[in-house]
Structures are given as structure tokens and as C-alpha cells.
Structure 1
Amino acid sequence: MSTEAPADPVPQPSAGLPNPPAGQGESALPTADAAYWEEAAASFDDEPDHGLRDPAVRSAWAARLRSWLPSAPAAVLDLGCGTGSLALLAAEQGHRVTGVDRSPRMIAQARGKLAGHDAAFLVGDAAEPPVGEQRFDAVLVRHVLWALPDPSAVLRHWAGLLAPGGRLVLVEGRWGEAEPIGIPAGELTALVEPLAAHTHVEDLSHDPVLWGKEVTDERYALIAGFPPGIPT
């Protein structure tokens, strides 16, 4: 793991914890320990793009979500949901949200944030979310996929969770200089295109308001529309 790992997608680990995983609250790397995210939960929202406490940052993410997600009301599955900041924005826009994260403390915070909204939160693995036969109009995932062992298989599984005409919204990037980590937009597009009816990539690197500061690494969103009959 690079010593130049990004501060925004990944909060820095405390002493004694294993290598930091990446993701929006999702402990995905094989070397990760669930205890990492349990401890990280207390300070997770301190990152501008995690807690969305700054009104400008919050507004910027709300505008992006409004353009990425289907018209409300839609069923949205937020995988690696962390403390539920993006889920809250989606719920405020009129969507029915289900959030999944492996950290019980993250989930507890998310439930508190979305109390009174049409939302449910489950402790579980983002790669294989415990949603049974439920299907969704959109699957939203931020900073999780790149760290999973088999992204291609995970994408097929996520596509199978979509209702006919659903869409996949992936916020990913490539961070660090000496030893870059992440997944480039071109690589992710190549994985998604065989499954999707159409894909669209938005560059997020040149919108510093999203991150609460200027960034120089690759950050993007891939939005994919899926027809009925997704191969799994």
C-alpha cells in the first residue's frame, strides 16, 4: 500500500490496525480487518466528502446524485454506504434507500442520520449484499469496487440486482503517485460495457467542491444503463 494513499477515499488508520482498506465504509481488501472500520466510524465523517458537513460540498454531491439517479421515487441500493451521507441525500430527493456496510457502527450512524426517512440499513458485504430477491432501480457504489478481489464477477452480481432498465452508478478513481492505487476509468469502462446497454463517464477531478479541496488525481463517476435480461 502506497504511503501516498488518498486522504479523501480512505481515512488514515490508527496505530496497530491492519492495512487500510478503501471504500465508502467498506472493508474490502483481503488484508483488512472489520475492526478497522469499527474504529474509523467515530471520525469517518471528518472527511469533507464523507460527512458532507460543508453546505457547498453537500450541495455539490446532491446535484451530482440528482443527475445520476433515476427519477424519484426509485429504489436505490447504496453499497459500502458508510455513515449514510449519500443515502441521506438520495432519501431527501424522494428515493427509497437500502444501505449495506460491513461495519455495525457505520450502520448505526446511518440509521440515526436517516431516521424518519424511507430507508433501511443492513450489516453485510458489499460484494454480496444480503438483499435476497429484492431488485433496485439503481445501485450506487463509491470508492469500493477497485479494492474487491474480482471486480468483474462483482459487477455481474450487482447488475443482477437491478430491475429492468436500472442503472449502476460507480464513483471511483486512481490515487497516489509513487504506487498508484485504484481503477482507471478506461479499465472500469471495459469491465462494464459488455454488460450494459450504455455507459457514461463523468470526470470529477476538476470539481474541487466535491472533495473540499483541489485534487490532482483521477476521480470519476461511471453511470451505466442496463436492459432487461442481465447476464449473471
Structure 2
Amino acid sequence: MTDSAAITAYWDAAAADFDAEPDHGLRAAGTRAAWSRLLTAWLPSDPSSVLDVGCGTGSLSALLAEAGHRVTGVDLSPRMVDQARAKLSAAGLPARFLVGDAAAPPTGDERFDALLSRHLVWTLPDPEAALADWTARIRPGGTLILVEGRWRESGQAGVEYVAGADALPWHGGVTAADLSAAVRPLVADLRVELLSGDPVLWGGPVPDERYALIARV
């Protein structure tokens, strides 16, 4: 099994070039607008408190803050968090970023109106425990948003993920059916939106399964 120091080192090393991927940096206007439309559709229209777990360099956090939401981002990688802070500061957007384990965010007893996670659960040694932790942090009636998929490749392109990753329960990603089965006992209702067919979201066509699971707690 992987260890947290190796995982931190891996994502710290990836931080400098992370935003070069179209769906990471959201630098193309069309890609950025497409993700903004999705978040607007999934989240409450009123300003809400949103916990962005595994926030990376803060691209989705920035969209949330632009929409008026109160954002807390958490990532295990200090370098990712540094970039997220710099990105939102440069844009004049308010947000709070914390270095910590996204599976058990260091936010104490604070509860949120929504929790967002994108492309994270495949990295977790105990994803079902993380899902239980996350839903407990959401206020009744709040929203859980998991943007996930079943990947042809895991980690950063051309760079092998940390030793022991093949023992992770969802190494290589998780299908919508399997994730729904894990989440359903924790929530009041859920739906799945398929995202593979929209190349604008990813900067081009993708060959694998990608989707969003949206649940009401």
C-alpha cells in the first residue's frame, strides 16, 4: 500500500506542470466555461459554503469563488496548495486553502453546504471511509459532487504513480456503477451524469468513462 510521504512527494513534483492539462488549468475559455456551467447546475444558486477536497491548484475553487461561494480547499500537497493560493489571490478571489489529507479534511466540526471532489477517490487507500467522512461534513439537504471515472492511465502522463498503488481499492479509477453502490447508503438520493461525450471539458475526446455523481445528503 502507498504511504502519505510518497504521495505528497509525487503530487508536489507534479504541481509545477499540473495546469498544462486542459481540464486541470482550465486555461482555454471554452473548457473553463464548460466547467463553470456544470458547477452552476450542480450547486445551489445562493452563495454557499463549499469544501473542495483534493483541490489541486485550485482551478475549480476559482470557479466556485467567482460564482460567489465560500470556498475551502484541501490538498495533501503543499506545492499544490501554494499554487491554489497564488491563483486565487492573483484573481482577487477569496478562498481558504489548507494542507491536509483530503480523506479526512482538517476542518474540525465545521459543516458545509456542498462538498466537491474531482479525480481523487482512485488515490485513496480507504475510499469508502472517506465517503462516509465527507457525507458527515455536509449539512442535511446539502450536496455531494464526485467527478470521477475509470481511467486508461492513472497518475500524471508518462510518470508512474507511487509504489504500491496497484493495491489501492480503486486504482485506475472507479465505474459509475461501483461508486453509486458505495455512496447510495450514505445519501438520500443520487444521480449520475455522463461526461465522456463532451470533449470541451477535457480539451479533446477521451476514450475512458468519465461522469459526475451528484447526491443529496
Query: Would you say same fold, with TM above 0.5?
Result: yes
Q: Give the residue type in structure 2 aligned to 1:218.
A: E
| Contact 1:137–1:167 (Cα < 8 Å) also in 2 | yes
Superposition pairs of residues 164-179 of structure 1, within 5 angstroms: 164-176=140-152
Q: CA deviation at 1:40?
A: 1.0
Give the gaps of 5 or more residues in structure 1: 1-27, 227-232
Q: Give the residue type in structure 1 aligned to 2:134.
A: W
3-state SS of paired residue (2:186): coil
Q: Distance in 1 between matches of 2:124 and 2:31?
A: 27
Q: CA deviation at 1:153?
A: 1.3
Q: Distance in 2 between matches of 1:37 and 1:158?
A: 22
Q: Give the residue type in structure 1 aligned to 2:40.
A: R
Query: Which of the residues 115, 121, 124 maps onto 1:145?
Result: 121
Superposition pairs of residues 79-98 of structure 1, within 5 angstroms: 79-98=53-72
Q: Distance in 2 between matches of 1:183 and 1:206?
A: 18
Query: Which of the residues 41, 44, 62 maps onto 2:15?
Result: 41
Q: Distance in 2 between matches of 1:135 and 1:29?
A: 29
3-state SS of paired residue (1:182): coil
Per residue, is there more helix in 1 or in 2? 2
Identity of aligned residues (%): 61
Q: Distance in 2 between matches of 1:192 and 1:122?
A: 25
User: C-alpha deviations, 1:7-51, integer Å up to 9, x for none?
Assistant: xxxxxxxxxxxxxxxxxxxxx954843221112111000000000
Q: CA deviation at 1:117?
A: 2.3
Q: CA deviation at 1:127?
A: 0.3
| Contact 1:38–1:104 (Cα < 8 Å) also in 2 | yes
**Residue 54 of structure 1 corresponds to which residue in structure 2?**
28
Matched, 1:213 2:189: no
Q: Distance in 1 between matches of 2:24 and 2:99?
A: 19
| Contact 1:169–1:222 (Cα < 8 Å) also in 2 | yes
Matched, 1:191 2:182: yes
| Contact 1:81–1:99 (Cα < 8 Å) also in 2 | yes
Query: Which of the residues 194, 198, 205 maps onto 1:203?
Result: 194
**Residue 107 of structure 2 corresponds to which residue in structure 1?**
131
Structure 1: 4+ residue segments shifted above 2 A: 28-33
**Residue 120 of structure 1 corresponds to which residue in structure 2?**
96
Q: CA deviation at 1:162?
A: 0.5
**Residues 72 and 118 of structure 1, relative CA distance in 2, 3 Å threshold:** farther
3-state SS of paired residue (1:187): helix
Give the gaps of 5 or more residues in structure 2: 154-165
Matched, 1:154 2:130: yes
Q: Distance in 2 between matches of 1:51 and 1:117?
A: 16
Q: CA deviation at 1:186?
A: 0.2
Aligned Cα root-mean-square deviation (Å): 1.7
Q: CA deviation at 1:71?
A: 1.9
**Residue 23 of structure 1 corresponds to which residue in structure 2?**
none
Provide the TM-score with structure 1 as the length reference: 0.81
| Contact 1:29–1:148 (Cα < 8 Å) also in 2 | no
| Contact 1:29–1:147 (Cα < 8 Å) also in 2 | no
- Number of equivalences: 198
Q: CA deviation at 1:170?
A: 0.1
| Contact 1:95–1:118 (Cα < 8 Å) also in 2 | no
3-state SS of paired residue (2:122): helix
Q: Distance in 2 between matches of 1:49 and 1:183?
A: 19
Q: Give the residue type in structure 2 aligned to 1:205.
A: S
Q: Distance in 1 between matches of 2:133 and 2:140?
A: 15
User: C-alpha deviations, 1:61-93, integer Å up to 9, x for none?
Assistant: 000111111223100000010000000000000
Matched, 1:223 2:199: no
3-state SS of paired residue (2:11): helix
